[in-house]
Structure 1
Amino acid sequence: MTAFTEHFTLEEFVRSNSAHILGINNTPTPAIIVNLRRLARFNEMVRLELGGAAITISSGYRCPALNRAVGGASKSAHLDGLANDFIAPAFGTPFAICQKIEKSYLHFDQLIYERAGATVWVHLGIAAEGKKPRRQVLTVDGKGTRIGLWQ
């Protein structure tokens, strides 16, 4: 295992059942690995903000073929290793996580409360090196994409 930080490894950022099933090579380039290391360090700050609750990453880096296969946005930060989707059950619901992060000092680029049917998660993106984080907060669900957090 390639440890990035105390609680995060390269493997959990690139693991994908869809890639495995579809035979897609989801290996990141060295430049993307640099971004994933930054994302792992950011996730450590998120973990602290959540009282040390463990974070389970469900989606991290996606190569272009994988991103297309799972219906990801064409300009998704996942493509650059700058975003991950996660839950932290020991802290609370994805909505509670989003509320906590939104109110925090953390300089995220994009925070999205996402729902697809019964599946709910947090999408968290960081800005590219040298770019100013937008601190954009959105909800994506059956009603579309809306600004702010909506249950």
Structure 2
Amino acid sequence: MNNPSQRLSAHFTLAEMTHSATAARKGIANVLTPEIERQLFLTADRMEGVRALLGDKPISVLSGYRSEAVNKAVGGSKTSAHRTGHAVDFICPSFGTPAQVAAHLAKHLTSYDQIIEEFGQWVHVGFGPQKRMQKLTAKKVGGRTVYSQGIG
């Protein structure tokens, strides 16, 4: 991996956009290709727009890019936008709860693939090429993830 302290944008580094607590705990390398690194620059730029919409409040990235091994370890979808560097899971506590953040972004973010309020714990925002403008809520029901339309 290149220099982890490398800045991808004003507020986001390569280290935070590739960090995975699961990978660290399980000793899995979250290796990225030059193509993924280029995409992370674009995703970080989009996250600057998200930060601006949230009143320039600090964002804590919980998950950005995930290698195939890391994605499998966290139980992610095989088609997850995290695999291509197009998605970020984050919190912004100084703005509000994940539900409040997701609802605000759903009203004000103009171009995205998905905004998902996940399990009341974090917000997933995907900037994949499809631009489906999906607004979803994810909950665990009987041990399975169930998605419903809308936020909250």
For the criterion TM > 0.5, the same-fold answer is: yes
The CA distance in 2 between the partners of 1:95 and 1:24, in whole Å, is 31
Q: Is 1:134 aligned to 2:138, yes or no?
A: no
Deviation at 1:124, TM superposition (A): 0.4
Partner amino acid, structure 2, of 1:148: G
The CA distance in 2 between the partners of 1:84 and 1:100, in whole Å, is 16
Deviation at 1:105, TM superposition (A): 4.0
Deviation at 1:106, TM superposition (A): 2.6
> 1:40-59 to 2 correspondence within 5 Å?
40-59=44-63
Give the unaligned 5+ runs of structure 1: none
Identity across matched positions, percent: 40
Question: In the superposition, relative to structure 1, how do residues 18 and 53 fare at CA in structure 2: closer, same or farther (>3 Å)?
Answer: same
Structure 2 partner of 1:80: 84
2:115–2:135 Cα contact (<8 Å) kept: yes
**4+ aligned runs moved over 2 Å, structure 1:** none
> 1:11-22 to 2 correspondence within 5 Å?
11-22=15-26
The CA distance in 2 between the partners of 1:19 and 1:134, in whole Å, is 30
What is the TM-score normalised by the length of structure 1? 0.91
Partner amino acid, structure 1, of 2:23: A
The alignment of Structure 1 onto Structure 2 pairs a total of residues equal to 144
> 1:116-135 to 2 correspondence within 5 Å?
120-128=121-129, 132-135=130-133
Partner amino acid, structure 1, of 2:149: I
Deviation at 1:24, TM superposition (A): 1.3
The CA distance in 1 between the partners of 2:136 and 2:9, in whole Å, is 28
Instruction: Output the aligned Cα RMSD.
Output: 1.2
The CA distance in 2 between the partners of 1:147 and 1:65, in whole Å, is 29
The CA distance in 1 between the partners of 2:81 and 2:109, in whole Å, is 21
The CA distance in 1 between the partners of 2:28 and 2:37, in whole Å, is 18
What is the TM-score normalised by the length of structure 2? 0.90
The CA distance in 1 between the partners of 2:137 and 2:36, in whole Å, is 26
The CA distance in 1 between the partners of 2:51 and 2:14, in whole Å, is 17
